Amino acid sequence: MSFTRGGVSAKDALLVLQDASFFLGEGFGSDRTTIGELVFNTSMTGYQEAMTDPSYAGQVLTFAYPLLGNYGINEEDNESQRIHVKAMVCREVTSFYSHYKARSSLDEWMKTQDIPGIHRVDTRAIVRRVRESGVVPCAVARRDPSQSVEDQVRALQSTITKYRYSEIDFVREVSVPEKKKHVVQNAKKHVAFIDCGGKTSMLQELLLRGMNVTVYPYQTSAEEIMRDRVDGLLFSNGPGDPTMMKKTVATAKQLLAEKPLFGICLGNQVLALALGAKTFKLTFGHRGSNHAVRNLETQRLFITSQNHGFAVTDLPSDVLPLYENCNDGTNEGLRHKTLPIFSCQFHPEGHVGPKDSNELFDEFVKSL
């Protein structure tokens, strides 16, 4: 694939921000127009895993790393059954890919799932803008040759200003519609996986440890889960504002003294709210595979994978902070003083260490 025409750059796509500032670039993937919350990710690899992570639902994802698509798309690395980002923004996409598992190019894959993209834009400027001003609604669209750029930007802006990311229940869109049990031979225990938008690799970590796992929709009641005789619960990652998850928080609250509980990412926030803490929206979030976190019990440092736009604050007196973000000091996990409840804001299944925080799954299994 070539993104040039006659040797001249084909500036045929627009990234428009809420304040009508815009970036002209070249389109790839789908031709459709989409609206979402503009965020950025600092990872050097893992674009396939990131784009299929349900935590990105409702968001337009900018990659800070300049070249994407060089190892193509394979059939094994998806974190869910489809792409969840609303659109993709990057400096350069290549159609030439080289990897023994690859089956298609990034552009071809995005076309099949109707996901638009824009490249040949200044992603450094975009990242700086988000870091300084915070995440912001935006649109990605192909140029309309019947309009001037200014007229098209104004038309898109009127739609962008109506977008309210924090008012949309994205978890409803990404959670499983009904429960499903995964059975392994000689299972040791039975774990409830509360699917708020959980990643496939997270489920696999439990199955690899000899757990039968039942995946539940995020609004499943505590009574139904207890009827299935589970030994513990994992609350998964997912998209959106945790304060919208009132039924999930209520379920966690009912089970605080009943079973061991483990939360990851959004699951950390759900457990925090159930325990009486609060959450707030970060200016630009933590998204990437190079975030340093300190274990406050051991002072050990981890390099972690993260993808979240909200954080926990105001822990009650019976809950201890377990991890701290080394960059901004925000909470990265908690532990209850007396109950078998703990959580982390980062992704221990992310394998960026590659396995230095993987032990959290072992700790959860031992608590059952």
347 carries an active-site annotation: yes
Model confidence at 356, in pLDDT bands (50, 70, 90)? Answer: confident
Chain region(s) in the chain for CATH 3.50.30.20:
10-167
Max Cα distance, the chain (Å)? 69
> Closest Cα partner for 290 from 64, 130, 78?
64
**Is residue 353 pLDDT above 60, yes or no?**
yes
pLDDT at res. 6: 33
* 179 against 355, higher pLDDT: 179
In 120-162, the DSSP E strands lie at 136-142
Q: Output the six-digit token pair for 170.
A: 């994205």
Q: How many residues would you count in the chain?
A: 368
Single out the catalytic residue among 138, 196, 265, 344. 265
Q: Output the six-digit token pair for 341.
A: 């409840």
Model confidence at 351, in pLDDT bands (50, 70, 90)? Answer: confident
pLDDT at res. 40: 98
Within its chain, how far is the Cα of 23 from the centroid? 25
On the question of a cis peptide bond just before residue 354, with omega within 30 degrees of 0, the verdict is yes
Q: Each residue of 316-329: pLDDT tens digit?
A: 999 999 999 999 99
What strand order describes the sheet that includes 261-264? 180-182, 211-217, 189-195, 232-235, 261-264, 341-344, 331-336, 319-325, 278-295, 301-313
**Is residue 241 pLDDT above 90, yes or no?**
yes
For 110-125, what is the mean pLDDT? Answer: 97
Q: Each residue of 252-307: pLDDT tens digit?
A: 999 999 999 999 999 999 999 999 999 999 999 999 998 999 999 999 999 999 99
The single residue listed with the structure tokens 């406050």 is 296
CB 193 within 8 A of CB 215: yes
Angstrom distance (rounded) from CA 79 to CA 107? 19
Model confidence at 357, in pLDDT bands (50, 70, 90)? Answer: confident
DSSP 19: T
**Is residue 1 pLDDT above 80, yes or no?**
no
For 160-174, what is the mean pLDDT? Answer: 94
Strand-strand pairing, 331-336 and 341-344: antiparallel
Angstrom distance (rounded) from CA 231 to CA 223? 14
**Is residue 3 pLDDT above 60, yes or no?**
no
CATH architecture type of domain 171-367: 3-Layer(aba) Sandwich (3.40)
pLDDT at res. 9: 52
**Is residue 4 pLDDT above 70, yes or no?**
no
pLDDT at res. 149: 95
Angstrom distance (rounded) from CA 300 to CA 367? 21
Q: Each residue of 49-96: pLDDT tens digit?
A: 999 999 999 999 999 999 999 999 999 999 999 999 999 999 999 989
Q: Each residue of 118-160: pLDDT tens digit?
A: 999 999 999 999 999 999 999 999 999 999 999 999 999 999 9
Give the chain's end-to-end CA distance (angstroms, integer).
52
Q: Each residue of 17-56: pLDDT tens digit?
A: 999 999 999 999 999 999 999 999 999 999 999 999 999 9
286 carries an active-site annotation: no
**Is residue 7 pLDDT above 50, yes or no?**
no
265 carries an active-site annotation: yes
Single out the catalytic residue among 84, 286, 336, 347. 347
Chain region(s) in the chain for CATH 3.40.50.880:
171-367
Percent of all residues in the chain with a pLDDT value above 70, rounded to a whole number: 97
CB 13 within 8 A of CB 135: no
Single out the catalytic residue among 26, 324, 332, 349. 349
Q: Output the six-digit token pair for 51.
A: 């784009």
pLDDT at res. 153: 96
Average pLDDT of the chain is: 94
| Reported pTM | 0.94
Percent of all residues in the chain with a pLDDT value above 90, rounded to a whole number: 93
Taking domain 10-167, whether its CATH number is 3.40.50.80 is answered by: no
